[in-house]
Amino acid sequence: MLKELLKGEISQKEVLNYYNANITIEKLPKGVNGLVFNIEGIYNIFINKNLSYYKRKKTLIHELAHIELNQLDQPNKDLFAFHVQEYEDIADKYIKELLNNIK
């Protein structure tokens, strides 16, 4: 789904509908560009309103990568906390691979 979005084959709205996701733009703590969590089957994506337009787009794609990679559906939430940076790196690497395959 993300690959199709990056290629311009589908819209952001279509991706959000597909993943049952909502976006909220609001002030987040300094250093936090965005976050995503799942409550009762709805993905809630928060994007820092202090970011530029392009940084917001990049952050949204990053948060969608977490969804697409099923990183939020971890059975042990405490163990998940110990691997946050690993999941961040995996999401970034996934996006880079998608972008490299589009060119």
Residues 6+ apart with CB under 8 A from 58: none
User: In the prediction, which pLDDT does 85 show?
Assistant: 85
Q: Which pTM value belongs to this model?
A: 0.88
Provide CATH code, domain 2-102. 3.30.2010
> 23 is written with which tokens?
């976006």
Q: How confident is residue 101, by pLDDT bands cut at 50, 70 and 90?
A: confident
Whole-number pLDDT of residue 59: 97
Task: Please write the tens of the pLDDT for every residue from 40-96.
Answer: 999 999 999 999 999 999 999 999 999 999 888 766 666 666 778 889 999 999 999
